[in-house]
Amino acid sequence: MFVEIQGGNPFPSLVVLILLVGLLLFALVTAFRVWGRGDGRSSEVPSSEMPSIHADPALAELRARFARGEIGDDEYERKAGLLGYPPPAIADQRSTPGPA
């Protein structure tokens, strides 16, 4: 294919061919991985296990009520758990490092 007609060395042409095929395979695998996700989330967390925060109006309303002070930490964590979200990490005032 890339070999000279006069009987030149086929090794450099073979290396170029292998590199081109490898690059093509890498591009195809990367494209299938990116397009396979579809929503831009990490492939480590299945979409069925963690709903989208931005698409859930119930969680948005819950967060707004918590921000306005209508509900406390415990109620927010309990209701977020019922909606299928992990509880947020709330810093414990006693365990935070500070000046002694």
Q: Give pLDDT tens digits for 58-97.
A: 888 888 999 999 999 899 889 888 888 876 665 555 555 5
Question: Is 0.85 topped by the overall pTM?
Answer: no
Q: Give pLDDT tens digits for 4-43.
A: 556 677 777 888 999 999 999 999 999 888 887 665 555 5
Residues in Cβ contact with 76 at an 8 Å cutoff, skipping those fewer than 6 apart: 62, 65, 66, 88
